[in-house]
């Protein structure tokens, strides 16, 4: 998911760190962070995933004025078949899930950075799964650049579409 402008903000980093249960002061306390090796607040290693917040077309966020596929009065707010977004559930009960995520850090992010990213598709492959039927994997590579156009993080993501819900064993 490419984004044109992803401003890295201190408040967002603090909320993100809380959401992964990480109490490390370097994620919210500027004075503490000054005395650490990075010398400033940095973002946790998986923070760039929150670039979704800055993707205007991100399919897994309700859009104002549009139907949302989560539950309201009914279990789903829209006809599943009408939904174009890849991650959305299919009639067979299977769905799109995240299979792998890999990051390479050229440097760590700090508040004030303004990133943009470019994405390209990688490989795709299929296999028969034991717990969810036919699995269709697809890879995407996203490069995040900073305000100086320097590559800061390279991300490789693998998504999988399952034929049916993953059976629990």
Partner 1 sequence: MALKASSIKVGDVHEEVVCHDLSRTQIVQYAGSSGDYNPLHTDEVFATKIAGYPTAFAHGMLSMGLTGKMLTNWLGDGRLTKYGVRFVSQVFPGDTLTARATVKEIRHENGGPVVDLEVSTVNQEGKEVVTGSASARLDP
Q: Catalog residues that contact partner 1 under the rule CB under 8 A.
A: 12, 15-16, 18-22, 24, 26, 36-38, 42, 44-46, 49-50, 52-53, 58, 60-62, 69-71, 75-76, 80, 87, 89, 93, 95, 97-105, 108, 156, 164-166, 168
CB of 128 to partner 1, least distance (A): 17
Q: Please, which residue, 12 or 145, has the CB nearer to partner 1?
A: 12
Q: Indicate the burial class of 144 (C-beta count within 10 angstroms; 0-12, 13-18, 19 or more).
A: buried
CB of 97 to partner 1, least distance (A): 7
Q: Indicate the burial class of 84 (C-beta count within 10 angstroms; 0-12, 13-18, 19 or more).
A: exposed
Q: Which helix (H) or strand (E) holds 142?
A: strand 133-145
Q: Please, which residue, 36 or 140, has the CB nearer to partner 1?
A: 36
What is the distance between the alpha carbons of residues 142 and 20, in angstroms, rounded to a whole number? 22
CB of 95 to partner 1, least distance (A): 6
Cα end-to-end span (Å), the chain: 33
Q: Please, which residue, 23 or 148, has the CB nearer to partner 1?
A: 23
Q: Please, which residue, 49 or 140, has the CB nearer to partner 1?
A: 49
CA distances from 10 to 17, 34, 48, 99, 143 (A): 11, 14, 13, 29, 22
CB of 118 to partner 1, least distance (A): 19
């Amino acid at each position: 998911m490419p984004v044109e402008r992803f401003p890295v903000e201190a408040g967002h980093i603090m909320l993100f760190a809380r959401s992964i249960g990480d109490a490390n002061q370097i994620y919210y306390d500027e004075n503490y962070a000054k005395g650490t090796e990075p010398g400033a607040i940095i973002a946790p290693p998986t923070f760039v995933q929150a670039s979704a917040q800055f993707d205007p077309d991100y399919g897994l966020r309700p859009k104002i004025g549009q139907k949302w596929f989560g539950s309201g009065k009914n279990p789903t707010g829209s006809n599943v078949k009408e939904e174009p977004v890849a991650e959305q559930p299919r009639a067979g009960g299977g769905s799109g899930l995240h299979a792998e995520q890999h990051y390479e850090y050229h440097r760590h992010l700090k508040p004030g950075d303004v990133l943009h990213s470019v994405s390209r598709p990688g490989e795709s492959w299929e296999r028969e799964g034991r717990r969810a039927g036919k699995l269709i994997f697809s890879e995407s590579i996203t490069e995040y650049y900073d305000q100086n156009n320097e590559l800061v993080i390279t991300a490789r993501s693998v998504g999988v579409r399952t034929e049916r819900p993953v059976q629990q064993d």
